[in-house]
Chains A and B, each alone.
Chain A
């Protein structure tokens, strides 16, 4: 029955919800997501309407089936990964490209449902916060780099490494930077920075509007041919973008190649969603069921592609705004998704002449927002965290996002195992008797130090105090047994002070 509780929408939150507050937060969320959705669609390489579909339908399904105030929809890191995966297989933005993006998103959803069935939520416990922090920082750097071209009106910077781009722009800015584009993005960024304090919820919208007005004035005075400022173009928003996905034999070959990408995207999406919902669970709603959230994410990505949506996940920045505005239940997410449809439908025709530099400026701000000095300082305080985070950031920036995720998982696990296998020996010696208090887990990976020490002094009478050993595996038991036998032959002794480590008790 617990499975049914996870897979069926559950409206038990309805009676306890403060409906006015949830609705207000939902509408603010819709206003917030629209510029992000357009930006992320641009990152994926699709028309702006696809980002809006994702903000509406993926978000709707994940809120309907989830049980928390987490806001789903288009996500930065996933958008980057989707475009990296499909770029080699079809011309960016062509119908074939769109089809591949949607099919890959469907695969992501299927993988996520499989992870749900395998109780994947438990797995993500081992992904350390520092590793996720590292991914976030790396994605921030990637976003800022990719926004560079749009904000400055430079096109076609094809460099291998991100720092080369900065170098080229700095070295030859007078030739390649489009001053009109730079003026529009500067107006957007500066007004966002000034307005953030006064309008914490709507400042992005107002800043984009200011950038757009600057763009229109430039357009009106010098004309689009002279200014060469790229415009968004017409957004063709269909409120019910139903789509039949067909798979031909040619698709199959490509889709097979995409399986690793689907797994990477699925894992990263769940990792982000789970970090958010775990945070919500500990801070405010203990009733949040992580397995249910995993199911909701997977289902939203399975259903989404049939509504022309690419894969999404929980969003850090939008969830925190929703929480700040008092959202506590999925209701705000549901209202936000429906409001996106209504607003995008009505607003579409007015977006045509929106200058792209204003949108790229939003991307830059989102990227900068992902690099939080507060978090970095926190990680810097622990050597392990600093290493995990640093290695992850480095890999994301210089090798790529997928590699960065693998490194994040591997380093988290390695350091987890390393810290779990740290054993401290507290040795007090008196002639040829000694007392060793062991602290830590004794298992195949951690036993070497203790064994080495005991072997080095075969004739001593040792008392081994195991009361602070929470776990001891068969390899450790066998090793201790062996040493005890050796000592008996060589005139030494090994006594155990047993804790509740059952294995040792039986052996002794």
Chain B
């Protein structure tokens, strides 16, 4: 990559409020604002492709501007290779995948206006970052201070103590707190369903406003507890095939009992 080391556009970046106050916007700026709206309230501004109650900002905290809270100033990292599908991924594909997995929705086409708008917003957030180099506090922290395997039973206790007031006993969320499991939450294929990533996210950011108040082990345990809860199936598995497998399993159970 020849471009490595070059900073992205350098001009001073207007804030979202400044952009909103402008009467004349060019194509890029109008897309940035549309993208911002989608990130802040996905069910309302991208209803066509979103399938649950989550907005991007529920995970990419504060509209993707929180360090260690899955920040979205990552345009300079793409395209990059990823193990999930074994090809080089553009930023567009990452956005489309979050609709499919995290929003349990429909994968938008590559040229869907929603995807282009969010890409413009991510590009806007990335102004000033260095191409090819991960930004500081990228993604979520990797937890190194855990000394035991994740224990969901301990996690349930942590959940009862520290999370239930906002996310509710059945995980459906109270008020502005989003659902953590159940039909209105992210699917089993989402990045947040990965115990390590969720643990890092929770440790750094949850309970909201009191990040890093749990021990890393507690965060890992509660992530494991969340992982065990029911949620929409991973869209990578064909639902019919899953059903057939379950049916065969059930048949096997019947004959086995005889």
Query: Which listed segment binds A: B105-113, B134-142, B207-215?
Result: B105-113
Chain A, Cβ-Cβ closest to B31: A91
Query: In the complex the two chains form, is B111's CB within 8 Å of A234's CB?
Result: no
Contact indicator A236/B111 (Cβ below 8 Å): no
Contact present for B117 and A224 (CB under 8 Å): no
Contacting residues of chain A (246-268) with chain B, CB-CB under 8 angstroms: 248-250
Binds B, one of A74-82, A215-223, A398-406, A500-508: A215-223
Residues of chain A with a CB closer than 8 A to B51's CB = 234, 352
B51-85 contacts to A, CB under 8 A, are 51, 85
* B interface footprint on A190-232 (CB within 8 Å = 1, 0 otherwise): 0000000000000000000000000001011111111000111
Chain B residues with Cβ under 8 A from A47's Cβ?
A: 48
Residue B47, interface by CB 8 Å: yes
Contact A217 B240 (CB under 8 A): yes
Contact with A along B226-250 (1 / 0, CB 8 A): 0000000001111111010000000
Q: Does B23 contact A (CB under 8 A)?
A: yes
Q: Which chain A residue lies CB-closest to B239? A: A220
Query: Secondary structure of the B side of the interface?
Result: loop
Closest to A251 in B: B24
Collect the chain A residues with CB atoms within 8 Å of residue B27's CB: 90-91, 96
CB <8 Å contact, B116 and A223: no
Minimum distance in angstroms from A443 CB to a CB of chain B: 53
| A278 → B minimal CB distance (Å) | 39
Contact partners of B116 in chain A: CB under 8 A: 91, 94
The closest CB in chain B to the CB of A218 belongs to B238
What separation, in Å, do the CA atoms of A231 and B50 have in the docked complex? 12
A452 at the interface (CB under 8 A from B): no
How far is the CB of A96 from the nearest CB of chain B, in Å? Answer: 5
Interface residues of A in 369-418 (CB under 8 A from B): none
Inter-chain contacts of B105 with A (CB < 8 A): 233-234
Q: How far is the CB of A180 from chain B (nearest CB, A)?
A: 12
Q: A317 at interface (Cβ–Cβ under 8 A)?
A: no
Q: What are the residues of chain A within 8 A of B112 when measuring CB–CB?
A: 93
Cβ–Cβ contact A94 & B117, under 8 A: yes
Are the CB atoms of A250 and B23 closer together than 8 Å?
A: yes
Given contacts A90-B27, A225-B100, contact A230 B109 (CB under 8 A): yes
- Contact-size category for B: 20 to 34
Smallest CB–CB gap between A186 and chain B, Å? 20
Query: Are B113 and A221 closer than 8 Å at their CB atoms?
Result: no
A221-B238, A225-B235 known; A236 vs B48 contact (CB < 8 Å): yes
Q: Across the two chains, which residue of chain B brings its CB closest to A232? A: B106
**Best-surrounded residue of A220, A226, A235 (most CB of chain B within 10 A):** A220
Find the residue from A90, A217, A225, A226 having the highest chain B CB count within 10 A.
Answer: A225
* Complex: A281 Cα to B14 Cα, angstroms: 61
The answer to whether A97 and B113 touch across the interface, beta carbons within 8 angstroms, is yes
Taking the complex as formed, is A461 at the interface, i.e. its CB lies under 8 A from any CB of chain B?
A: no
| Interface mask (A478-502 → B, CB under 8 Å = 1, otherwise 0) | 0000000000000000000000000
Contact A224 B100 (CB under 8 A): yes
Please measure, in the bound complex, the distance between the C-alpha atom of A96 and the C-alpha atom of B116, giving whole angstroms: 13
- Selected contact of A156 from candidates B50, B100, B107, B110, CB within 8 Å: B110
Chain B residue at minimal CB-CB distance from A219: B238
Asked whether B111 lies within 8 Å of A225 as measured between CB atoms, the reply is no
| B243 and chain A: residue at smallest CB distance | A220
List residues of chain A with CB within 8 A of the CB of B114: 93
Give the contacts of B93-120 with A (CB-CB under 8 A): 100, 105-114, 116-117
The reply to whether the CB of B30 lies closer than 8 angstroms to some CB of chain A is yes
Using Cβ atoms and an 8 Å threshold, which residues of chain B touch A232?
106
Asked if B36 is at the interface of the complex by the 8 Å CB criterion, the answer is no
Residues of chain A lying within 8 A (CB to CB) of residue B34: 94-95
Q: What are 16 sample pairs from A and B whose C-beta atoms fall under 8 A apart? A: A90-B27, A91-B113, A93-B113, A94-B31, A97-B113, A156-B110, A156-B111, A219-B238, A219-B240, A221-B238, A221-B240, A221-B241, A224-B106, A226-B238, A236-B47, A250-B25
Pick the 5 closest A-B CB pairs, nearest first. Answer: A220-B240, A93-B113, A233-B48, A223-B238, A221-B238
Known A90-B30, A248-B24; 7 more pairs at CB < 8 Å: A93-B112, A93-B114, A94-B31, A223-B235, A224-B100, A248-B23, A250-B25
